[in-house]
Structure 1
């Protein structure tokens, strides 16, 4: 359900292909806890429509006429900071992924995503999560593991580094806890410290900051 009072999650779809919008409309409308609040075919159209429809989650294509999805994401979040943008695109190149996340996108999915996973991702994003396609998570990790010449953040403890590695791998707190053999509450406590030390506000920003600092190699036990 939506963020407040158990209301349906309001969704805005931004894609320049009518057939894609129609397919998403058909599928989303049968979900009892989701409400398709609007559709836009461009970034320029999406901004005023978002003000009007007040979506909880925006499914944003990247390749749009005029303003691209990255810029549209940046402007939309400046306009409505509480909104959650999930990129839904055919393109998973590393540069596109990082640009979208740096613009503030909460998640990044490829259009090959299973429909049930897409619905789960919308719910996850509305609840404050950061859904990523597995391919996208792998690209972020590959970027992290390349030598960057940057100094790692010495302020993080070894355990905090392991928890951070779990976050960048797209694991939930429960999965990180199982991997490290610690309690889920302990993972949450470590994440609170990680966010504070890195000066970030959430999981997506922490993963991006980890990329910038070259924090890799301390990884959680396999």
Structure 2
């Protein structure tokens, strides 16, 4: 069997993975900083020029890669057969829990990342990462909405996910029990809102509002370049 040659993109991705693995131990002490990035170059043995090619912005590019790696691990760990008997809200709950758990070995890196992406220059990118996580979860669950529901589902889940992560960062309970209870309460709140929306839809005013919302459509692949969660 002939092995395919690695492309430049492959080499860049391999380099970024090496740098990410090397920076994580230093993030606990130095955060996602230039100091941590420089040490990652030394520890990984990657040439400095190649390191800056893989991560032009330095540590912040590795912080982005760290978050996206968590999304990938959650997606790869999804087993449909384990979800077949769950209610829809329970499926969402388990995926949010899974997404947080894949990062539990690097809790401090998550904490430092939250601080990094709340800084004014990075806040938009931080929002995009959270939106993308929500988008991945809904896509895993086979969401087919194309109207305003596409937006509201991801907006609502982004709020649930981000608030749960913040709670988890301060949670010292055994097996993060308090965090999962917090998550249950947030999802219950969302379900109550959905029930209220269903009642409003039955009124003439509600029908008018929701008919207007139908004008909002899921963005096409050709018009996503500035949209949260876009990876093009």
**TM-score exceeds 0.5:** no
Larger C-alpha radius of gyration, 1 or 2? Answer: 2
Greater RCO between the two (CA within 8 Å, min separation 6)?
2
Q: Per residue, is there more helix in 1 or in 2? A: 2
TM-score by length of 2: 0.28
